[in-house]
């Protein structure tokens, strides 16, 4: 991308009774105060350029020329150095697989496995709720800019404890997500993760098509061992049981 991801932002007018976030860019820009109703604690937006040592090499390896020139972040950047499991799931999902998925995620929580995702589909959102109740790190990648991002009340404590990291590469004016942005976000998330867990992808869905791309990358991609996932198993996804979830990052199966 030719233009920087974080563009200068006009300072907003403020009133004394309103809380604020403080936004700043990593090594680039001074802090900017932007009005919000979601936290009393100042939070910095940081920018990581391709030339910075913190920039993840996996983005360049998997995305090549599509790797963003810079990435923005809110939260504990040290989380990026840990091994990660990404999660994606179709919007519609069989009840049996939903139940198994929640049990699987709880096993990841118990094993302190870092999970990364956009957490957009209904199943993904419930998985995020389970993860937020744990003590393990989480990386949340919204399909939009972090500027003017609404930090929800349930995100505040994990953020303050340094176990939640928000990432984005979208420009500062992209406040609403669309299908194209979500697709680009998913590729970014997958590129960052060491392993990928897709509990269900409906036949012919965008998620199933994405599975084909991930297999072509050579990424280890896993799915729930269930008859409803025959389409994914035929594509080359590896079957995994709930009992194996805790060891997902420690060994291959």
Nearest-10 Cα torsion for 142, 146, 149, 155: 60
Global model pTM greater than 0.85 = no
Report how far residue 223's alpha carbon sits from residue 143's, in angstroms, rounded to the nearest whole number: 24
Instruction: Return the pLDDT at 4.
Output: 36
Domains and CATH numbers, the chain: 57-247 (3.40.50.450)
Instruction: Return the pLDDT at 2.
Output: 42
Read off the pLDDT of residues 68-87 as tens digits, 9 standing for 90 and up. 999 999 999 999 999 999 99
Is pLDDT of 187 > 60? Answer: yes
Query: Phi and psi of 186, rounded to 5°?
Result: -65, -40
Q: What are the CA-CA distances from residue 34 to residues 5, 149, 202, 211 (Å)?
A: 18, 10, 41, 39
Mean pLDDT, residues 168-192 taken together:
81
Read off the pLDDT of residues 44-60 as tens digits, 9 standing for 90 and up. 899 999 999 989 999 99
Tell me the pairing of strands 164-168 and 70-75: antiparallel
Least confident of 28-32, 118-122, 200-204: 28-32
Least confident of 99-108, 149-158, 242-251: 242-251
Question: Which of 49, 69, 67 has its CA nearest to residue 58?
Answer: 67
Structure tokens at 174: 């992209």
Least confident of 18-32, 76-90, 150-164: 18-32
Report how far residue 65's alpha carbon sits from residue 46's, in angstroms, rounded to the nearest whole number: 23
Q: What are the CA-CA distances from residue 129 to residues 11, 72, 143, 202 (Å)?
A: 34, 23, 18, 23
Structure tokens at 125: 């959102």
């Amino acid at each position: 991308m030719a233009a920087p991801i974080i563009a200068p932002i006009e300072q907003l007018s403020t009133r004394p009774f309103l809380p604020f976030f403080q936004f700043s860019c990593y090594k680039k820009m001074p802090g900017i105060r932007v009005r919000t109703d979601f936290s009393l604690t100042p939070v910095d937006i940081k920018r990581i350029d391709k030339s910075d040592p913190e920039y993840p090499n996996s983005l360049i390896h998997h995305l090549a020329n599509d790797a963003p020139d810079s990435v923005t972040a809110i939260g504990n950047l040290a989380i990026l150095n840990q091994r990660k499991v990404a999660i994606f799931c179709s919007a519609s999902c069989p009840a049996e697989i939903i139940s198994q998925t929640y049990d699987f995620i709880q096993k990841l929580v118990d094993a302190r496995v870092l999970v990364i995702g956009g957490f957009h589909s209904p199943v993904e959102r419930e998985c995020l709720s389970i993860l937020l109740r744990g003590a393990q790190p989480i990386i949340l990648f919204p399909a939009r800019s972090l500027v003017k991002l609404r930090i929800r009340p349930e995100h505040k404590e994990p953020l303050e404890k340094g176990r939640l990291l928000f990432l984005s590469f979208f420009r500062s004016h992209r406040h609403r997500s669309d299908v194209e942005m979500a697709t680009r976000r998913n590729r970014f998330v997958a590129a960052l993760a060491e392993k990928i867990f897709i509990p269900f992808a409906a036949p012919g869905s965008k998620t199933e098509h994405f599975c084909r791309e991930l297999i072509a990358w050579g990424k280890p991609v896993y799915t729930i061992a269930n008859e409803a996932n025959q389409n994914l198993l035929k594509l080359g996804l590896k079957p995994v049981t709930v009992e194996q979830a805790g060891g997902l990052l420690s060994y291959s199966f």
